[in-house]
Amino acid sequence: GRRKRARARHKPCELRQLQVSVSDLGLGYQSDETVLFRYCSGTCEAAARSYDLSLKSMRSRRKIRKEKVRARPCCRPLSYDDDVSFLDAYNRYYTVNELSAKECGCV
């Protein structure tokens, strides 16, 4: 319901994980191998810096108008996990790097 959704939205930025097949990654590989996909999710409200507040202020005072600026930190990987290798449906091996997040933060 709505309350559950609201609560999920307010979770702070953190590492989450999913078990997915390599084909589901959408990278163009055809393989039934399952890999652990770790990603960053959550809000960054508590992580606003003076930078963000000032940027917001500049924007509202129309000192910054045409440029695309982001005045809110966002939840992104700070570092990535080790390489992942797998055998595809045609018996070829592939190695993918920076597939999974290792550490998350509000940047």
Partner 1 sequence: LASIFSGMDPATTSKSNHCLDAAKACNLNDNCKRLRSGYISTCSRELSATEPCSRRKCHKALRQFFDRVPGEFTFRLLFCSCKDPACAERRRQTIVPSCSYEDKDKPNCLDLRGACRADHLCRSRLADFHANCQATFQSLTSCPGDNFQACLGSYVGLIGFDITPNYVDASTTSITISPWCSCKGSGNLEEECEKFLRDFTENPCLRNAIQAFGNGTDVSLAPKN
Query: Would you tell me which residues interact with partner 1 (CB under 8 A)?
Result: 19, 23, 30-36, 82-87, 89-91, 93-95
Q: Output the smallest distance, CB 76 to partner 1, in A.
A: 22
Q: Output the smallest distance, CB 15 to partner 1, in A.
A: 13
Q: Which is nearer to partner 1, 55 or 84 (CB)?
A: 84
CA angle 9, 34, 8 (to 5 degrees): 5
First-to-final CA distance of the chain: 30
Q: Among residues 105, 90, 45, 98, which one has the least CA distance to residue 72?
A: 45
Q: Output the smallest distance, CB 11 to partner 1, in A.
A: 24
Q: Which is nearer to partner 1, 27 or 69 (CB)?
A: 27
The whole-angstrom separation of Cα 66 and Cα 38 is 36
